[in-house]
Amino acid sequence: MAESQGAHMTPEEFRRHGHALIDWLADYHTRVAELPVRPSVEPGDVRAALPAHPPEHGEAFADVLSDLDEVIVPGLTHWQHPSFFGYFPANASGPSILGELAAAGLGVQGMLWETSPAVTELETHVLDWLAELLDLPARFLSHSVGGGVLQDSASSATLCALLAARERATDGAATSAGVDRALAVYASAEAHSSVEKAVRIAGLGTDALRLIDVDERYAMRPESLARQIAADRADGVLPCLVVATVGTTSSTAMDPLRATAEICGGEGPWLHVDAAMSGVAAVAPEHRGMHDGLELADSYCTNPHKWLLTNFDCDAFWVADRAPLLRALSVVPEYLRTAASEGGTAIDYRDWQVPLGRRFRALKLWFVLRHYGAEGLRAHIRHHVALAAELASWVEAHPDFELTAPVPQNLVCFHHRDGDERTARLRQTLNDSGELYLTHTRLDGRYTLRMAIGGVQTQREHVAAAWEAITTAASEPT
């Protein structure tokens, strides 16, 4: 068959190659469980298999596809493998993959309402839908002065929260003259590293970050926060932002929102709630207790791209008042002026984020919410929470292992009672086997295994097999 390489694919070629790739992906998801979760490659191995120079003449798509098998797949850590338990789940469900395809194929820009009205309006709409599904406070809905927006990641949401917080705290000085008064940002010692990254990016410097100590469940101690804020105020430092975490990366610790919000007091520092991993669990009513007090927060985010069946990137970020965010980020050159914007009747999401351009990300979330429905989403969450609870019971019953943190959702943290070295060696043995993949953290100084259960394909048999592999490896002579 004639090939168009070097020239544009014809629609018929796109159809043919597209069908081939869809089939390849269906096969990949069918066989991913048989692949080693982590590849056995060393730095440089993948590059060594690639031609040193780009091709002068176009190549056939079939050759590209076969290199996926020969060069790329052997170099991947397979996040969609049912025995991938590392970091966090990275759900890439069928409907979300197809939603991303639709967005790429339409190739429209959502930086302004005018640049493609449906991109903006669907986004606002599905964020209202998602807020309803999670039973978020009404102040985050778009009919209020707040509303939601999709960010690439919780890191960017935290940065945007900080920028809005600074804008509010300095009454606009931040965007015009810069700030000469010292500002402070507060988060628990277990908060995500993106808080420090945001503090650096915004130019406050790491010294401006106050890491508040945590209780025995790794949750922020409100009384310590209150003390630190009071001390800073006494020193002439302006408290700017408090980040409370609902579900820390290390151990799913839940900072107490209501007590934290009462310290912020509405007039004080901006309260941002980072529920990147855990927030989506609120589709199931029994998990909504973690959000108690959220109606007092200024902003909130959670990541459908972790555990709500939506492929990366898709972070949902809501603010209770959009004005400070827009004041911080809105720059309107002539070439971006539109009648709809000037009339104030339309949302221009470019002013809600760091970049200017925007993909049609809402499409994949819309596909997911419609394909699964509230019912399907609840079942998805409950399935993994039940598996994690069962795994936790096995850990508790085993003489050599010990849980190192409570298991409120889908993450099980545990260690070998022989200590750090033994636990770290165990992890390496297990990951080297290719049969499963775990990551680690430190809790209260102890080296801890993290087993995050949330893969689209992860079933009881995979968790059981992982536990079998763990206990078997632990029983071998060291």
Return the ∠ at Cα 39 (arms to 35 and 41), rounded to 5°. 150
- In the DSSP assignment, the letter for residue 342 is H
In this complex, which beta carbon is closest to a copy of itself, that of residue 256 or of residue 455? 455
Given the complex with a copy of itself, which of 42 and 476 has the nearer CB atom?
Answer: 42
Here's the x/- map for a copy of itself, 377-416, by CB under 8 A: it reads as --x-------------------------------------
- Binding of a copy of itself at residue 96 (CB under 8 A)? yes
Task: Report the nearest approach of a copy of itself to the CB of residue 225 (Å).
Answer: 20
Site for a copy of itself in 138-197 (CB under 8 A): 152-153, 155-156, 159, 163, 166, 173-180, 182, 192-194, 196-197
| Per CB under 8 A, 425 contacts a copy of itself | no
Q: By CB under 8 A, tell whether 419 contacts a copy of itself.
A: no
Q: Which of 119, 244, 264, 385 binds a copy of itself (CB under 8 A)?
A: 119
Helix (H) / strand (E) containing 27: helix 11-31
Interface with a copy of itself includes 313 (CB under 8 A)?
yes
Contact between 27 and a copy of itself per CB under 8 A? yes
Please give the Cα distance from 249 to 193 (Å, whole number): 9
Under rule CB under 8 A, how many of the chain's residues touch a copy of itself?
Answer: 159
- Cis before 313? omega within 30: yes
Tell me how crowded residue 291 is: count the other CB atoms within 10 A of its CB: 25
108 lies in the site for a copy of itself, by CB under 8 A: yes
Exposure on the CB side of residue 332, measured as CA atoms within 13 A = 12
**Dist CA 274 CA 300 (whole Å):** 6
Q: How far is the CB of 6 from a copy of itself (least distance, A)?
A: 4
Residue 41 binding a copy of itself, by CB under 8 A: yes
CA-based nearest residue to 109, from 355, 297, 303, 426: 355
DSSP secondary structure letter of residue 139: G
Q: What is the rounded CA–CA span in Å between residue 18 and residue 426?
A: 43
Give least dist CB 348 to a copy of itself, A. Answer: 11
DSSP string of 362-430, one letter each residue: HHHHHHHHHHHHHHHHHHHHHHHHHHHHHHHHHHHH-TTEEE-S--SSSEEEEEETT-HHHHHHHHHHH
* Among the listed residues 33, 97, 237, 284, the single contact to a copy of itself using CB under 8 A: 97
**Nearest distance in Å: CB 27, a copy of itself:** 7
In the complex with a copy of itself, which residue's Cβ is closer, 240 or 261? 240
